[in-house]
Structure 1
Amino acid sequence: MKISAFLSCSAIFLATFASAVMPDDPNKIDTCKMPGVVAYTIDDGPGIYNDELLAIMAKKNVKATFYVLGRKVDENAAQAAALKKILDGGHQLASHTYSHDNMDLMTDVQMKDEINKTSDTIFKHSGVRPAYMRAPEGRCAELCTKTMAEMGQIISHWNIDTNDWRFTGEKDPLVATKKSMEEIMDVLYNKSDPATDSFILLQHEIHEFSVRHLANEVIDTVIKKGYRFVTMEECIGEPAYLPGSTVPSTVPVPPTGTTIAPTSGGPVAPTDAPGPVPTVSQPNGGATVSGGPKPTISTPPKGDVDSSAGAMKVASWALGFSALLGYALI
C-alpha cells in the first residue's frame, strides 16, 4: 500500500514540478531579440503624474512604451492630451485594454470589443492604432492568445517587475522605492550581463512614489549596469502600430549595405541607402482592429516573474510538497 501511495504521490509531485518549471507561452513576448537592452514599459495610464514622468525621461534621454487604458483616455481631456505628448517625446503607445478586466473571463467577442474600443479611443486622440497589447495582470490564456493573434496584436509580457503596486501602502516613499528596487537589483544589476541578456521591465505611472522616486532609481540603475533603453518596437523589431496609423516607425534604419533578417521567411535583402522609415498610413484610419499581421513568436526567457504565473508556481510546489508529506504520514 505504501508503494502504491508513494508512486501516486511521486506522480503528483513530478506533475506539479513540471508545471512549475514550464516556460511562458512563446506567443507572449517577454524578452527582447537582442542583448544589452531594456524595454521600459509603463502600465495603467495616462495618469495624473504623466507629465512628470515624461519630463524625467526627457531629461535622461530614455524612451519607453506606455500601455494605456482606453477608459483612462476617455475620463478627461488632460489624460487624452497625454497621448500626443507621449508620441512627441519619442515614446510608443500600446494597449492595456479598455476596462482593465480579466481577459480570461471574457468571450472572444468581449475581448475584441476591449481592444477595438481602446484602439478607436487612442486613434481619435493620437492618430495611431497600437499593434502591441498587454493583458491586465498578464492574464491571456489560449482563447485570448488566439483572439489577439487574429487581431494582429503582439501580446506583451515582462521578465522583470518593480512590483510597485505592492508598496503603495508604505508611508515613506523611499521605503517603497527601496522595496520596488529589490528584484531589479537582484536580477538585473547583480546577476545579469548586458552582453547576453535583455529585459522587459514593468512599472506603473499611477502611483506617486513610483514616478517621483522610483523612476529615477530604475533609470539610473539600468544605465549604470550598461543597458540601453528601447521601445517595445525596437525590442521586438515589429512595427508599433497597425495600418491606418499616421506616425513613422521608431525602429532605427540600418546603415547602408547592411542586411535585414526577414521576420517571416523569404530572402534577406540588402538596404540600398539610408533614409527615414516610411510612415504607415491609410486613407480612412480604419474603424476596428480586425485581422492584421500575426505576432512574432520569441523564445521565452529562463525566468518568469509574471505575478499570476508566480502564484501558480508557488501553488504547484506546495501541492507537490503536500503530496510527499502525505505519503510520509501514511
Structure 2
Amino acid sequence: MLFESVVALALALSASAKPVPSPIDVIKRDHVAGIVINKCAKPGVLTLAYDDGPYQYTSSLVDTLNNAGVKGTFFLTGTLYGCIYNQRAAVKKAYDSGHQIASHTWTHPHVGSLGAAQIRSEMERVEQAFVNIFGRKPQYVRPPYLETGGQFLGVMRELNYTVVTNDVDAGDWNNQSPQQSQQRFQQAGAAGDGHIPLMHETYQGTVTTLTSWLIAWARSNNLQIVTVAECLNDAEGAYKPGTFEGNGQTTC
C-alpha cells in the first residue's frame, strides 16, 4: 500500500522529460504529507511504536528501551490520561534519550467527525506542548483510532504532516495478553519491509513483557530496531525544521 501510493505521487510530481523519483526519495524530500503510511520502506528493521501516552509507565518504558540500546517512537496526546505537563520530565527524558516523539492529537478525538479548524487546533496544541517541553515540533502523527476520514488528511497536507498507521496490531487495547500479541508478530513474520506496530504504553503488559519479548525477537531475527522516521529513511525528518518559542504554559 505504501509503495503504490508513493509511486503514484512520484509519477504525478515528475515531468515527462525528467526521471521519476524513487519512492524513498519522495519520502525523504516531501514526507509524503497527507498520505497514509502503514509499513516501513525497507527490510531488516522493526519499529516499537506506542500510542496514548504520556502515562505512568512512560519513564520506565524509556528505561527499558535505553537499557537495551534501542529507540522507540512515542505518539503522545495532550490530555488523554491526564495533562501532558504532569509528565513533563518523562517526555523530556524520552526526547533527550533519542526516542522519536510524535503527535497523537491533543484530546484523542474521532478526527473524521471534526471540522478543519478543530483538527488544526488538535495538532497545534500538541505542537506547542512539545515546544514548551523540549523545543521541537513533531513531523509525524498517528491519528486516534487510526481514523483518516473526513477532513483529516486534507488538513495534514496543509500542515505538512507525515501520517502513520500500522501493519501489525498488538491488540493490547482489546484485552489481548502479551503472549497473544507475540503470536501476532510471529504470524506477521520478520521478512519483507519492517513492521510499524500498533501498541499502547498505557498497558503494563505491553511496557514490560511485550516490549522485552519484541527486543529479543528482533535480535533473533537479525532485525534492527529503529524509530518510525528511520524506518522510512527519514532519520533527520522526525521534527519540523526551525526553532520555536515556548509560551510558558505548564498546565492543560
Q: Does the 8 A contact of 2:45 with 2:231 survive in 1?
A: yes
CA change 1:160–1:141 in 2 (3 A) is: same
Match for residue 186 of structure 2? Answer: 185
Q: Rate the CA distance shift 1:46–1:76 in 2: closer, same or farther, 3 A.
A: closer
3-state SS of 2:42 partner? coil
Q: Which moved more, 1:93-102 or 1:136-145?
A: 136-145
Code of the residue aligned with 1:149 in structure 2: it is R
* Distance change in 2, residues 1:243/1:286 (3 Å): farther
- Output the aligned Cα RMSD: 2.1
Checking the alignment, whether the CA contact within 8 Å between 1:73 and 1:121 is kept in structure 2 is no
User: What residue in structure 2 maps to residue 109 of structure 1?
Assistant: 117
- Please say if residues 167 and 179 of structure 1, whose CA atoms lie closer than 8 Å, have aligned partners that are also in contact: no
Match of 1:58 among 50, 56, 66: 66
What residue identity is the alignment partner of 1:54?
Answer: V
| Distance in 1 between residues matched to 2:84 and 2:231, nearest whole Å | 32
State the alpha-carbon separation in 2 of the partners of residues 73 and 151 from structure 1. 26
Q: Does 2:134 match 1:126?
A: yes
Quote the Cα distance in structure 1 between the aligned partners of 2:186 and 2:41. Answer: 22
Aligned residue for 2:241, secondary structure, equals: coil
2:97 is aligned with 1:89: yes
Amino acid at match of 1:187: A
Q: Evaluate the alpha carbon distance shift between residue 129 and residue 242 of structure 1 in structure 2; reply closer, same or farther with a 3 A threshold.
A: same
**Does residue 1:208 correspond to 2:204, yes or no?**
yes
What letter corresponds to residue 198 of structure 2 in structure 1? L
Q: Which protein has the larger Cα radius of gyration, Structure 1 or Structure 2?
A: 1
Counterpart for residue 25 of structure 2: none
1:159, 1:77 → 2: CA distance? Answer: 31
Structure 2 residue aligned with 1:241: 239
1:69: Cα distance to partner? 0.3
1:30-41 to structure 2, matched below 5 A, reads 30-41=38-49
Residue 193 (structure 2) aligns with:
197
Residue 197 of structure 1 deviates from its aligned partner by 2.5
SS of residue paired to 1:98: coil
Match of 2:221 in 1: 225
In structure 1, C-alpha distance between the alignment counterparts of 2:102 and 2:93, rounded to whole Å: 14
User: Where does residue 23 of structure 2 map in the other structure?
Assistant: none
Greater shift, 148-157 or 221-230, is seen at: 221-230
**Deviations for 1:131-165, whole angstroms, at most 9, x for unmatched residues?**
10010011012521111011011001111121111
Deviations along 1:219-278, one digit per CA (max 9) or x if unpaired, are 21122111111112211233011123xxxxxxxxxxxxxxxxxxxxxxxxxxxxxxxxxx
Aligned to 1:254: none
Secondary structure at the counterpart of residue 196 of structure 2: strand
TM value normalised by structure 2? 0.79
The yes-or-no answer on 1:137 pairing with 2:145 is yes
Is residue 65–residue 94 contact of structure 1 (8 Å, CA) maintained in 2?
A: yes
Native 8 Å contact 1:96 1:134 kept in 2 = yes
**What count of residue pairs does the alignment treat as equivalent?**
215
What aligned pairs does 1:1-330 form with structure 2 within 5 A after superposition? Answer: 23=1, 26=5, 27-71=35-79, 75=83, 77-141=85-149, 143-167=151-175, 176-188=177-189, 192-193=190-191, 196-238=192-234, 239-244=237-242, 282=243, 284-285=244-245
Structure 2 gap ranges (5+): 6-34, 248-252
Query: Does the aligned pair in 1 maintain the 2:139–2:162 contact within 8 Å?
Result: yes
CA distance, structure 1, for counterparts of residue 150 and residue 40 of structure 2: 23
Residues 73 and 167 of structure 1, relative CA distance in 2, 3 Å threshold: closer
Cα displacement (A) at 1:73:
8.4
Of all paired residues, the percent bearing the same amino acid is 28
Distance between the aligned counterparts of 1:185 and 1:141, measured in 2? Answer: 31
3-state SS of 1:211 partner? helix
Question: Contact conserved, 1:41 with 1:64, CA < 8 A, in 2?
Answer: yes
| Structure 1 contact 97–115 (Cα < 8 Å) conserved | yes
State which drifts further: 126-135 or 63-72.
63-72
Deviation at 1:202, TM superposition (A): 2.0
In 2: Cα distance, 1:286 partner to 1:150 partner: 23
Give the 3-state SS of the residue equivalent to 1:237 in structure 2.
Answer: coil
